[in-house]
Amino acid sequence: MANNNFKNNNYNKYNNGKKNYNNKFKNNGYNNNKRQNNKASTKAEFDAVAPYNFIRFPKETFIRYESVDDIPSFERFDKDLNTGYINYEFINETPIFVGSQKDKNETVVDFFKNANNQFCIPGSSIKGVIRKNTEVLGFGYPEFVEDNLYLYRKFAAADTSKDQYKEVISLKKGESIDSVVSAGYIYKEGKEYYLQPAKKINGKTFFAISETLPRKQHIPENKINYMYKKSLLDFNGKGLDAWNKFANDKRNRNKYYEAYSVDITFNVDSENHFKKISLGKDGIYKGVLCNSNSLGVKKKHYIVNEIDKNQKAYKLDDREVLAYKNDCETNKQRTNKEYYYLPGEKGSYGEVLPFFYKIEDGKVKYFGRSPYLRIFYKKSVRDCILTKKNRGIDYPSALYGYTKDGNGPTSTQENNFKSRVSFSDAICTNPKIIKEERKLALSGPKPTSYTMYLRQDGIELKREIDTYSTDGNVEVRGSKFYWLHKNPTYKVDPDVSENILTRVKNMVQKGSTFKGKIYFENLTNDELGLLLLSLNFDSECKENIGMGKPLGYGKIQIKNVELNIENIQDKFDSFDCNCVKSKNIEEYKADYMDYMDSYTEKVYGKTYYNVDEIGDFIDSRKMELEEKEVEYMPLKLFRKSKILAETYKIADEYYK
């Protein structure tokens, strides 16, 4: 075991020799002279604020074991390895809430309690926090980052996404949307989704019609939904300004509008002049009249021609189907969301539904309920993880177990492996309860916010901002964490919709004590050192746990860590199962860092403690920021494509 004292040598080395981030920040293009000459309207802005930031992913995965045969076996206790348990406790410095599973009929989430009706934090929640720390501190592969494929959200943004969207849709000036987008019908067979094209009439699979047409055809309001009142028939203004004035007048709009689709027949001549729209069977052609929303000054509805069963059906890509479904569920601002569901989904509008789509490379690449498609980015989140995935078993997998069908390096293994570490619940010994119900606004920017979630190194202009469709090496920022709040206050923004508020009760007030235990079996000295670092890096580091982290809830500092190691020889020779309390906690931590030094010097040219990713981790656990520095930006600022500064830049300003 190493003789150097971790606390004295390493901790003081960090604080006395604080890293200078200024040069690195300038080299990334944030402060060069070239940018100062750009017009303010196109200049990239790096002053975004958020309650979260990121710890950079490692350059490559550190492999601790080549195969499962190299990991210490479960079949026997090894006297040369470490088996025992760790006691720890913490007092929450801000209110804390970990929810129990809510019944279907309940609208309020209660604090988690164990079988003895004690307020506690489940062992699984503690494990999640510690495992994530192990992933960072052990240079593990980010296995549990969801491989989501996202859709464009900002079609009119001043940054790169606007040009990328136009490129995909290929809509040129003077062209109508029906010249580049087609219509058809999606249906489900088994677990697969297929799209059957609509019939072509005059070369078109659908028609965009003005709302005045069904009004003049006297289609009743109880059969289709109109965006405007009957006053539309009296509108005779000329030009765009006149229309905008009419459309924005609330007296002319139907405030109860909902998306709809209805079967119709219709007559249209060779020049696409409509002669009839009917809810009966007296028209020549069959189709569906539909409209998804009434946003802005929109005035078009759509007629999708009937299904063409003689055409080949296209199978939809599973990844894009999943992305579409996720968007339907997570888009909280969309009303009447059942209209957008794929057919066959619970609550959907039917089994065969009209959709608009675009073909690319012989496949349905983009689809949606409106011709102005929500298109997919070219790359998924995992496509933007640039960590080299070396073959073998990394530290997190070796400690906490893995499945062979995972996303990380262990996907090359033939068998699953169970955890050598287990976590008991952390029980609150003196719960101080906040009785009144609280409402937490827990939603915020998601990974679709590429200015926040993707690295933007060397960016000078907004049109240079990387998105998930940018060619080349686009990189996600890293492992997400929530900043520690210096002085959090409970408040509910009156402008926040009730739909995104989570109601909770029996939150535990600050100053309550929690005690927990971690069991471990057959760990090497370096593995035990990494586990101890992941639990409590040093005496000044803190954690966030539970719900409400963006609001500053759940701030804890783990203390009174006791390491108890079994004497395996005595256990079997004298049947003495008592553990011996170890005083070598800091030495185990130092052992791990010494073990890793040769690897980090080879890959990063630095000792373990001075690697940038480790610096990010330490900064994220020590810095406590003011509320104005960790709040979600209002929508008007978020729309300006402001870029989130890297953790090391914020740390540099913090320590000045």
**pLDDT value of residue 2:** 40
Decide if pLDDT at 647 tops 90.
Answer: yes
Query: What would the two tokens of residue 449 be?
Result: 């916010």
Instruction: Give the domain-ending residue among 320, 335, 368.
Output: 368
Distance, in Å, from the CA atom of 335 to the CA atom of 293, rounded to the nearest integer, reads: 9
User: Which residues face 366 on adjacent strands?
Assistant: 358
Same domain, yes or no: 364 and 502? no
Query: Which residue would you say has higher pLDDT here, 227 or 1?
Result: 227
Q: How many CB atoms lie within 10 A of CB 81?
A: 18
* Identity of the highest mean pLDDT range in 355-364, 496-505, 601-610: 601-610
Percentage of the chain beyond pLDDT 90 is 62
Q: For 462-493, how does the pLDDT look when each residue is reduced to its tens digit (9 = 90+)?
A: 889 999 989 999 999 999 999 999 988 887 76
Distance, in Å, from the CA atom of 132 to the CA atom of 620, rounded to the nearest integer, reads: 13
Query: What would the two tokens of residue 414 be?
Result: 């033939």
Decide if pLDDT at 551 tops 60.
Answer: yes
1 located within any domain: no
Same domain, yes or no: 535 and 633? yes
Same domain, yes or no: 131 and 224? no
Distance, in Å, from the CA atom of 197 to the CA atom of 174, rounded to the nearest integer, reads: 25
Same domain, yes or no: 121 and 242? no
Same domain, yes or no: 53 and 11? yes
Distance, in Å, from the CA atom of 436 to the CA atom of 415, rounded to the nearest integer, reads: 49
488 located within any domain: yes
DSSP 256: T
Distance, in Å, from the CA atom of 185 to the CA atom of 114, rounded to the nearest integer, reads: 50
Cβ-Cβ contacts under 8 Å for 450 (sequence gap 6 or more): 161, 465, 466, 467, 468
Decide if pLDDT at 171 tops 70.
Answer: no
Task: Of 425, 401, 415, 532, give the one whose Cα is nearest residue 82.
Answer: 532
Mean pLDDT of the chain: 86
169 located within any domain: no
CA dist 168 to 366, 383, 474, 475, 552, Å?
Answer: 9, 19, 19, 22, 41
Confidence of residue 444 (pLDDT cuts 50, 70, 90): low
Distance, in Å, from the CA atom of 14 to the CA atom of 20, rounded to the nearest integer, reads: 11
Same domain, yes or no: 130 and 186? no
Same domain, yes or no: 529 and 574? yes
Instruction: Give the domain-ending residue among 314, 335, 368.
Output: 368
165 located within any domain: no
Say how many CA atoms lie within 13 Å of 608 toward its Cβ.
Answer: 21
Phi-psi region for residue 302, left (φ > 0), alpha (ψ -120 to 50) or beta?
Answer: beta
Please name the residue ranges forming H helices in 536-642: 568-573, 585-603, 612-622, 635-638
Provide the total of helices (H) and of strands (E) in the chain, helices listed first. 17, 29
Decide if pLDDT at 60 tops 60.
Answer: yes
Query: Which residue would you say has higher pLDDT here, 635 or 218?
Result: 218
Query: What would the two tokens of residue 198 be?
Result: 């609509």
Distance, in Å, from the CA atom of 274 to the CA atom of 589, rounded to the nearest integer, reads: 78
DSSP 609: G
Decide if pLDDT at 19 tops 60.
Answer: no
Same domain, yes or no: 71 and 96? yes
**pLDDT value of residue 332:** 65
Same domain, yes or no: 307 and 404? no
User: Which residues face 565 on adjacent strands?
Assistant: 84, 580
Q: What is the pTM of this model?
A: 0.79
Q: Look at the chain and report how many structural domains it folds into.
A: 2
655 class by beta-carbon count within 10 Å (0-12 exposed, 13-18 middle, 19+ buried) = middle
Instruction: Give the domain-ending residue among 368, 397, 418.
Output: 368
Decide if pLDDT at 175 tops 80.
Answer: no
User: Which residues face 204 on adjacent strands?
Assistant: 201
429 located within any domain: yes
**pLDDT value of residue 122:** 96
User: Which residues face 300 on adjacent strands?
Assistant: 210
Lowest mean pLDDT among 344-348, 450-454, 602-606: 344-348
168 located within any domain: no
**pLDDT value of residue 78:** 75
Same domain, yes or no: 442 and 573? yes
28 located within any domain: yes
Same domain, yes or no: 420 and 325? no
Query: What would the two tokens of residue 256 be?
Result: 């109860």
373 located within any domain: no
360 phi/psi in degrees, rounded to 5: -140, 125
Confidence of residue 29 (pLDDT cuts 50, 70, 90): very low
Same domain, yes or no: 145 and 190? no
Distance, in Å, from the CA atom of 463 to the CA atom of 459, rounded to the nearest integer, reads: 9
Distance, in Å, from the CA atom of 70 to the CA atom of 605, rounded to the nearest integer, reads: 28
Decide if pLDDT at 249 tops 60.
Answer: yes
Distance, in Å, from the CA atom of 652 to the CA atom of 650, rounded to the nearest integer, reads: 5
CB crowding 370-380: b at 16 or more within 10 Å, else e? bbbbbbbbbbb
**Is residue 432 classed as helix, strand or coil in its secondary structure?**
coil
CB crowding 410-423: b at 16 or more within 10 Å, else e? beebeeebebbbeb
Quote the domain boundaries for residue 268.
175-368
**pLDDT value of residue 20:** 38
Contact 592, 524 (CB under 8 A): no
